[in-house]
Structure 1
C-alpha cells in the first residue's frame, strides 16, 4: 500500500514538473518518474537509475524531433510565401498546429532574387510577431529560399539561428 502511494506521489510530482518548467525538462521529469517507479517496484535503485536514464534520453530525443518538425512547418510556410511574392512585396505568413505549440505568424518581404547554375533563390526578411494583438512586437530576420522541383524550400542556416536555435 505504501509503495503504491509513493508511486502515485512520484508520478504526480513528475507531472507537475513537466507543466511548470516547459519542454526542456520533460525528459528529466519522465526519467525521474521512471527511475522512482522502477526503483520502488523492483526494490533495486540501480535498475531504477538505469531505466530513468534510458527514459530521459528517449524522451529528450522525441521532444527534439517534434520541435524540429514544428520549426520546419514554420520555415516551409515562410519560404512558400516568399516564393509566391514579387520582389519588394510583403505578405503575412502563419502556422497553426493542432496543439497550440510553435504556432507563429508575421510578415515576409522579398528583398531580391538571384540565380546560379543550380537554382533560383530569393533573399527575404521575415518577422515573427510576439502575440496576436494587432500592435504586437515583431522581431525581423533575414533568410533565403531556393526553388526546387517541389517548390520553394528554406535554404539558409544563418542568420535565422537566433530564431530557431540549432534546430535548422
Structure 2
C-alpha cells in the first residue's frame, strides 16, 4: 500500500490529467504492494495470489470511491448553479477539485423546464463543459431538497436504489 500512497501523492501534486495514470496505475501499485506483503510473511504462491487479488480489488474500490465523490462534487455545483434560475435563464458554473482525479470543469447551465407538483420542485437543465477547443453538452434533472438543490439524474440514485435503476 505504500507504493499506492506514493503514487496517489505524486498524482495529487501533478496536473489534473493524472486521473488516467491513477486508473491504470492502481492495479500495478496494488501488485507491487501485495508482492512486498507476501514476501514479508513468506507466503506460498497460492497465498501470494490471494493477497494480490485482495489488495488489487481494495485499491480499485478505493479509487472508484474517490472518483464517485469527485463526480458528486461537480453534480452538486451544477445543481446549486441551476437551482435559483428561472426557465430560460443561463448561469456559469465551475468546480475546482481538491484532489485532481479529474480536471477542473466549468461551463454554462440553463434551465429548460420546471417540474413542480406539491412539494416536488425539479428543473430540467442543459449544461456545457468547456474544453480547450470545444464544448460538450449534457442534460440532467435537479430537484430541491429542503433549501438545497441536488442532482436527480440516475447516476447518484443508483447508489441509493442499487439495480432498480
Alignment of 1:26-105 (within 5 A): 26-41=25-40, 42=42, 44-102=44-102, 103-105=104-106
**Residue 150 of structure 1: CA displacement?**
3.8
Q: Is the 8 A contact 2:19 2:101 kept in 1?
A: no
Query: Where do 5+ consecutive residues of structure 2 fail to align?
Result: 12-17, 156-165
Q: Is the 8 A contact 2:127 2:138 kept in 1?
A: yes
Q: Residue 116 of structure 1 aligns with which residue?
A: 117
Q: Deviations over 1:48-101 (max 9, x none)?
A: 222111111111111111100100000000011110212211111111122233
Q: Residue 151 of structure 1 aligns with which residue?
A: 148
Q: Is the 8 A contact 1:104 1:129 kept in 2?
A: yes
Query: Could you state the TM-score of these two structures normalised by the residue count of structure 2?
Result: 0.74
**Residue 117 of structure 1: CA displacement?**
3.3
**Residue 44 of structure 1: CA displacement?**
2.7
CA distance in structure 1 between the partners assigned to 2:43 and 2:70 by the alignment: 40
Tell me which of the two structures has the higher relative contact order, counting C-alpha pairs closer than 8 angstroms and 6 or more residues apart. 2
CA distance in structure 2 between the partners assigned to 1:112 and 1:71 by the alignment: 24
CA distance in structure 1 between the partners assigned to 2:38 and 2:153 by the alignment: 47
Query: Could you state the TM-score of these two structures normalised by the residue count of structure 1?
Result: 0.73
Aligned length: 140
Larger Rg: 1
**Residue 47 of structure 1: CA displacement?**
2.2
Q: Deviations over 1:128-152 (max 9, x none)?
A: 1124xxxx31100011111121411
> Which stretch of structure 1 is more off in the superposition, 23-32 or 72-81?
23-32
Runs of 4+ off more than 3 Å: 18-21, 38-41
